[in-house]
DNA sequence: AATGTCAAGGTAATCGTTGTCACGCGCATT
DNA sequence: AATGCGCGTGACAACGATTACCTTGACATT
């Protein structure tokens, strides 16, 4: 048996109408006599008819789905974003196709093409490193999340990465820190680059030097961040404060600090994470809610689906600094 | 412009063949002359042809997608599971439709029906509370993840919930604890019920009473778990050890213990979580990897897609107890 | 030389739904 | 009484690919 052996023509037959009229009833077309509508409705219920969405989509030219492409589905930040988008899409009868670009340009292009070939009605993408200029020939609306795409000059829904990082560094400095270390992911990622720029701007304004030995800009995961933190703590002039530009790397830093019992070192994280508030000291963070980001993106996509043109303007989601203790530790031994 | 204005017939025209032959080339049919194949291939590249997956799916009767339904997409456990499944599906050219049942039976049924109507080739479901007997009339293969469905007697891919809980309680007891509290999610959820059964069996074997005041069996989220923990600590005879049956609730327990500075209380969690190993004391957990679970489920689904019949036997994934400190705290004042 | 076989390719039907257009039938309008 | 207007309805084509079935010609077999 096929998934649903009941076709529209079976319903029409049972109701004694044409398939077209049955179709009208199903799609809520007003131009159907109440009596007819009733008969069709009954037949639908009786037979347990369900629209074949493939056929519908073929006919209509678009599928009632939106695709979302993120670097890593398992990352709590993106997982929450996906959840939010699904929650918004569901009531509209829109399904969600989820795909990851696996932090690999080849894969990224393939994934996006695959989604396009599926005739998704829209796409939400966190671009990695693919040149997205090919999208200009495509009519499917695409909204970019968290980062700008390469090769395309369109707005995106992003958080205030540069500003948040700036604030965090200024915050640390206000407690007397001068040797402030930076840990980020790969700088080819826009998010990382911007956060570093915020760090640089703050350091510059503070008249502090950017020391190479206090920069770890390739920390893809927690393990690498842990190693880098350890290396820095072993320096002759170790940092008195650390700024980690991602939740994921923060886990590594926290691990290193705790295992070495160096919780006297000030620490702040761009991105909140579970238990950040129960550690001792609790971790000071810049909070940027993935849900807000996702909501904005989905709202924007909805507008695009309704015909609005792509906006070249960014939607910037504000961030909040949550002081919990770790970022307010003073620089006891102001070194050099 | 339509998503891809290039159709198969355009390719055929350009290659000077019929659409059928072009189709053969695209689908890797061997019965095409090398020369012809070449011409078609070239036309495909030149025109940038992409198969319209909707049309293909309509004709074939199934779509190259699998659907996954989980209670909460944002839950790190399920997020990781989704990630694993996506990673396995991608190389096969299968896309992933993700949906959540929002812990609501009505929604659950609707969501599953929607996915079925989309003609997914298979479904992976973490059932919540819907009666799934209706699936018996459906041919789409369904694999159940983490729990058994109601109203259906089929195997599922699950972890050893009962055994893991049993081990955890025995472990706590071996350090002298007699008043061991239990925190779980809603008991209508099979996972929670089984973990509680493990607790009960252990307590029974230990000849310890099941005290109502030490049972909090409705902790849906961390906040509730925190409240329940606080309530228990305020008892005349508070527990000396706590067993939290879910990562999510564990976060609440940890929060309560830390905020009250009662880290002398022994604690173990069913389910690992980020930073569990850097807290002081580090948290003893039963680790059950969502990826393993997901992998098994996807393997099983693949077999089903290849025609294997549904197995009535469960696939049980073993769990591991990771002693980190919090579960090995002794019961100092052995009460009553 | 006649026949059979097989590779290579084509034709038309089909998947299930929806958009286009046309039709009949009352009812109000002139 | 003739015209016009909507309403409710249905016949039919189309969406773009695949599949069942057929044709053709080259070559091998007897």
> pLDDT digits over B26-61, tens only?
998 888 889 899 999 999 999 999 999 999 999 999
Is it the case that residue A334 has pLDDT exceeding 90? no
Which residues, other chains included, contact B141 with Cβ-Cβ below 8 Å and sequence gap of 6+? B121, B122, B123, B301, B304, B305, B310
> What per-residue confidence (pLDDT) applies to A2?
42
> pLDDT digits over A179-212, tens only?
999 999 999 999 999 999 999 999 999 999 999 9
> pLDDT digits over B283-302, tens only?
999 999 999 999 999 999 99
Taking residue B116's Cβ as centre, other Cβ atoms within 10 Å add up to 21
Judge whether B55 is closer than 8 Å to chain A, CB to CB. yes
Instruction: Name the residue of chain A whose CA is nearest to B248's CA.
Output: A274
Q: Is A118 in contact with B53 (Cβ distance < 8 A)?
A: yes
The structure tokens 């036309």 sit at: B43
Mutate to test the interface with A, among B117, B222, B283 (most CBs of A within 10 A): B117
Which residues, other chains included, contact B306 with Cβ-Cβ below 8 Å and sequence gap of 6+? none
pLDDT band for position A227 (cuts 50, 70, 90): very high
Q: What is the mean pLDDT of residues B101-114?
A: 93
Which residues, other chains included, contact B131 with Cβ-Cβ below 8 Å and sequence gap of 6+? B149, B150, B151
Distance CA A126, CA A146 (A): 6
> pLDDT digits over A5-58, tens only?
899 999 999 999 999 999 999 999 888 999 999 999 999 999 999 999 999 999
Is it the case that residue A3 has pLDDT exceeding 60? no
CB B158 within 8 A of CB B294: no
> What per-residue confidence (pLDDT) applies to A280?
85
Q: Is B53 in contact with A274 (Cβ distance < 8 A)?
A: no
Q: What is the mean pLDDT of residues B150-178?
A: 96
Is it the case that residue B336 has pLDDT exceeding 90? no
Burial (CB < 10 A; 0-12, 13-18, 19+), residue B332, is exposed
> What per-residue confidence (pLDDT) applies to B187?
95
pLDDT band for position A4 (cuts 50, 70, 90): low
Distance CA A224, CA A231 (A): 11
Judge whether B119 is closer than 8 Å to chain A, CB to CB. yes
> What per-residue confidence (pLDDT) applies to A174?
97
Instruction: Name the residue of chain A whose CA is nearest to B113's CA.
Output: A50
Distance CA A212, CA A61 (A): 54
> pLDDT digits over A304-326, tens only?
999 899 999 999 999 999 999 99
pLDDT band for position A72 (cuts 50, 70, 90): very high
Q: What is the mean pLDDT of residues A284-313?
A: 95
Distance CA B273, CA B76 (A): 8
Q: What is the mean pLDDT of residues A256-281?
A: 93
Q: Is A139 in contact with B3 (Cβ distance < 8 A)?
A: yes
Q: How many CB pairs under 8 A join A and B?
A: 174
Using CA atoms, how far residue B194 sits from A330, B147, B148, in Å, is 49, 10, 11
Is it the case that residue A336 has pLDDT exceeding 50? no
Is it the case that residue A220 has pLDDT exceeding 50? yes
Judge whether A1 is closer than 8 Å to chain B, CB to CB. yes
The structure tokens 């997608």 sit at: B65
Q: Is A73 in contact with B54 (Cβ distance < 8 A)?
A: no
Taking the C-alpha atoms of B123, B127, B129 and B133 in order, what is their torsion angle to the nearest 10 degrees? 50
Domains and CATH numbers, chain A: 8-51 (1.10.260.40), 63-154 (3.40.50.2300), 161-288+320-328 (3.40.50.2300)
Chain B residues whose CB is inside 8 A of the A115 CB are 95
Residue nearest to nucleotide C16 (CA to C1'): A55
Q: Which of residues 211-250 of A touch B (CB under 8 A)?
A: none
Residue in A57, A254, A255 nearest the CB of B54: A57
CB A256 within 8 A of CB A229: yes
Element (H, E) at B304: helix B290-305
Distance CA A97, CA A67 (A): 4
Helix (H, G, I), strand (E, B) or coil at A157: strand
């Amino acid at each position: 048996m096929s998934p649903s052996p009941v076709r529209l023509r079976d319903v029409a037959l049972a109701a004694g109408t044409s398939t077209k009229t049955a179709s009208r009833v199903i799609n809520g077309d007003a131009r159907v006599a109440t009596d007819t509508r009733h008969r069709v409705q009954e037949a639908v219920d009786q037979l347990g008819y369900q629209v074949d969405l493939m056929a519908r989509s073929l006919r209509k030219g678009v599928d009632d789905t939106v695709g979302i492409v993120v670097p890593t589905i398992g990352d709590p930040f993106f997982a929450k974003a996906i959840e939010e988008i699904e929650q918004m899409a569901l009531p509209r009868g829109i399904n969600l196709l989820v795909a990851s670009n696996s932090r690999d340009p080849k894969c990224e292009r393939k994934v996006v093409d695959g989604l396009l070939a599926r005739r998704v009605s829209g796409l939400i993408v966190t671009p990695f490193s693919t040149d997205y200029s090919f999208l200009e020939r495509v009519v499917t609306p695409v909204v970019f999340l968290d980062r700008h795409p390469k090769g395309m000059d369109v707005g995106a829904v992003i958080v205030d990465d540069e500003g948040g990082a700036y604030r965090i560094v200024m915050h640390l400095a206000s407690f007397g820190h001068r040797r402030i270390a930076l840990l980020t992911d790969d700088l080819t990622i826009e998010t990382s680059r911007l956060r570093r720029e915020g760090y640089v701007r703050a350091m510059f304004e503070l008249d502090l030097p950017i020391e190479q030995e206090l920069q770890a800009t390739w920390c893809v995961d927690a393990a690498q961040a842990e190693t880098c933190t350890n290396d820095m703590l072993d320096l002759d002039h170790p940092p008195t404060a650390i700024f980690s530009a991602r939740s994921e790397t923060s886990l590594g830093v926290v691990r290193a600090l705790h295992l070495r019992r160096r919780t006297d070192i000030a620490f702040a994280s761009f991105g909140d994470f579970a238990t950040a508030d129960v550690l001792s000291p609790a971790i000071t963070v810049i909070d940027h809610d993935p849900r807000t980001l996702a909501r904005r993106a989905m709202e924007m996509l909805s507008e695009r689906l309704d015909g609005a043109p792509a906006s070249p303007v960014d939607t910037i989601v504000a961030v909040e600094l949550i002081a919990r203790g770790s970022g307010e530790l003073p620089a006891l031994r102001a070194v050099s």
